[in-house]
Structures are given as C-alpha cells and as structure tokens.
Amino acid sequence: MAGRRLAQLLGVLSLSATDRFRAAVEGSLGRAGAHAAALVHLRAYPGDSLQALAAVLGVSQPAAVKVADRLSTDGLLRRRRGPDNRTLALHLTVKGRSAAAQVLADRESELDHVLAVLDSGERERLEPLLEKLVAGLAEDRPGALTACRMCDRTACCGAAAGCPLQHTVA
C-alpha cells in the first residue's frame, strides 16, 4: 500500500509540475506543443537536423517540419545547408535564442515555486534521490535527449555532479 501511495504522490507532483510550467512556457512563447522543447533542444544542439529533432521530440518527421516551419515563421529559427549538403541544419536566430532562454526561465520559476515548500535541508536530501531517478530514465543517448529536451543544461551539466544522464553530454 505504501508503494502505491508513493507512486501516486509522484504522479500527482509530476503532472502538476508539468501543467504549471507548460502553462507558463506556452503563455510566454505563444505556441503550444513541442515548440518550446524544440527551442530548448536547438539551443543546446545547434545545427541538428529535422530527423534528429523529430526523434528528440518524439514526433513524426512531418510534425517536426511543421514545428520548424512555425518557429521559422516566428523568426526564431533559420534553416541552413547541413554538413552533408543533403540535410538541413536547424539554427536558432538571436530572437530564437532569447525565446529559448525565456522558456527556461519560465520553467525554472515554476519549478522553484513547486520546491518552495521545502527548506534547504530537505532540498539537499531530495537532490540525490532525484538524480538517481533521472539516471534511470534512459539507457542510451536518444532516450536521454528526449528525457532532457526541456533541461537547462547549464544548470544541470554545469553542476559539480554533472548530468545524471551522461548520454546527453557525449
């Protein structure tokens, strides 16, 4: 019974936190769905292809094209010739990098609000438990990139402990 309750509490927390930061991010970006994750991912991995972006977002290639088209129309994304001259490389514009930074700031603000009920000692005890849970989310680089598609890599990978999903830094 205790295990079921723990799972339910984690589910409620996960869903509520996601709802909070999705609303904040979509409100500031003015776009719903995968657009924010595309910006955050391309901020960390400039020059990725549409195929790579589709895999990270967990959408079809036509859906990734639509996301890229909308971001391009909004002046946030530019397509360039890829390294093999067959694919297109996706790069954020200055406006796109600014929008990605705002997405991350909005996300962080909402997550800080969720964590505000914990004192500093509780936060210190929670962090290694969360690291362990996150480390178990993916076994390979594609899975890690999908799990971390909304991650602020400067906060996570720049920390002394590093990214719990080491596959994102390869």
pLDDT tens string, the chain, 170 residues long: the values are 567 999 999 999 999 999 998 898 888 888 888 999 999 999 999 999 999 999 999 999 999 999 999 999 999 999 999 888 888 999 999 999 999 999 999 999 999 999 999 999 999 999 999 999 998 988 888 888 998 898 888 888 777 777 888 755 55
Say what the pLDDT of residue 98 is: 97
- CA 96, distance to chain mean position in Å, is 15
Contacts of 147 (CB under 8 A, 6+ apart): 134, 137, 138, 165
d(CA 61, CA 78): 17
Do the beta carbons of residue 99 and residue 76 sit within 8 Å? yes
* Maximal C-alpha separation, the chain: 58
Do the beta carbons of residue 111 and residue 136 sit within 8 Å? no
Could you tell me which residues are beta bridge partners of residue 89? 49, 80
Q: Compute the Cα dihedral for 35, 36, 37, 41 and give only its sign.
A: positive
The CA-atom distances, in angstroms, between 129 and each of 1, 79, 123, 126, 156 are 21, 40, 10, 5, 15
Domains defined for the chain, CATH in brackets = 1-116 (1.10.10.10), 118-170 (no CATH)
Say what the pLDDT of residue 19 is: 92
Say what the pLDDT of residue 82 is: 85
d(CA 52, CA 157): 21
> Rounded to two decimals, what is the model's pTM?
0.88
